[in-house]
Amino acid sequence: MKALVTGGGGFVGGAIVRQLVQRGDAVTSVSRGHYPALEALGVTHRSLDLADTAGLVRAMEGCEVVFHCAAKAGIAMGREPFQHANVTGTQSVLDAARRSGVKKLIFTSSPSVAFDGSDHRRASNDLPYAPRFLAPYPASKAQAERLVLAANDSALATVALRPHLVFGAGDPHLVPRLIARARAGQLAIVGRGDNEVSLCHVTNAASAHLAAADRLEPDAAHAGKAYFIAQTRSVRLWDWIAELLRELNAPLPRRRIPLPLAYLAGIWLENFTRSELEPRMSRFLALQLASSHSYDMEPARRDFGYAEQVSMEEATQDLLRWARAERL
């Protein structure tokens, strides 16, 4: 199979590329940066802005499947960069896929498209989109996901996957930031501290994409639908964080901030932080840190054969080995 991966130099995109190469598929990666490590794997790389539809058409020549992973993430409050990367970019990828004769498109979405601030425990795929969004990122991802799912037809089969809190060796954001804040004495428990959360090891996130692609056809059970992807076992978030910090000899959080206070701080910081920067706290982040959001993997298992490759215990140990090696 010949595949194109947008954002192949990123955390999830890179894992997808490696798994494709490992099983013998021909891979082209599209991103704005340059990644010699991908070229060392024999991957063809194209440096493009996703708004360059003509360039995407050339890059997709001969491809059967597109994995669209590239996105702008974060909690900055400036709307336009997210719209350009996540909405305009996604429409451009869809247009190029149709013009190139691509048969399958797997979109890396986000559970945040359904996050309304309330507790979600073992939620299934019928969870609706949030009625309103507290940050440009989830708003733009919901808009992009709708575009992808609406595009599913007899010529181009599409599916959206929503991996949740992806972590593992090479994590560029989530865990390194967490550990850095703890070591700086800036980490505090938000809310009661008993919230249940699903995480997703990067190997499982990538294998879910391949499984969804392999079984995707216009009339497949998962065509035109969205699926949460996570570990089969959820954790109590702050207990899991404490376990990591103890193993890494990092200080545990000593403060507990009530959710209403963190939410108010988020409002203030959103208003007084430049729109292109990420505030230290936001309304969206406060609710994420304090609420439960765990997901049922049965729909993904049933509809396209998703099977967890790395257990939660193995995933945590993998993360710790990498964090120690990197001296985080």
191-219 pLDDT tens trace = 999 999 999 999 999 999 999 999 999 99
Please write the tens of the pLDDT for every residue from 160-193. 999 999 999 999 888 999 999 999 999 999 999 9
Burial 134-173 (b: 16+ CB within 10 A, else e): bbbbbbbbbbbbbbbbebbeeebbbbbbbbbbbbbbebee
DSSP structure class, residue 114: G
In angstroms, how far is CA 105 from the centroid of its own chain? 16
Task: State the helix-helix crossing angle for 136-150 and 89-100, rounded to 10 degrees.
Answer: 20
Please determine, for residue 84, whether its predicted confidence score (pLDDT) is greater than 90: yes
Pairwise pLDDT comparison (295 vs 124), residue with the higher score: 295
Q: How far apart are CA 297 and CA 230, in angstroms?
A: 7
Report the CATH number at residue 261. 3.40.50.720
pLDDT at res. 36: 85
CB neighbour list of residue 318: distance below 8 Å, 6 or more residues apart? 168, 169, 201, 310
Please write the tens of the pLDDT for every residue from 294-308. 999 999 999 999 999
Sheet (strand 65-68) strand order: 44-47, 26-31, 2-6, 65-68, 104-108, 157-163, 226-229
Look up the domain containing 106 and give its range: 2-325
The total of structural domains in the chain comes to 1
CB neighbour list of residue 134: distance below 8 Å, 6 or more residues apart? 117, 282, 283, 284, 287
Q: How far apart are CA 167 and CA 169, in angstroms?
A: 7
pLDDT at res. 74: 93
pLDDT at res. 29: 96
Provide the annotated active-site residues.
137
CA-based torsion, 86, 89, 91, 93: positive or negative: negative
Q: What is the pTM of this model?
A: 0.96
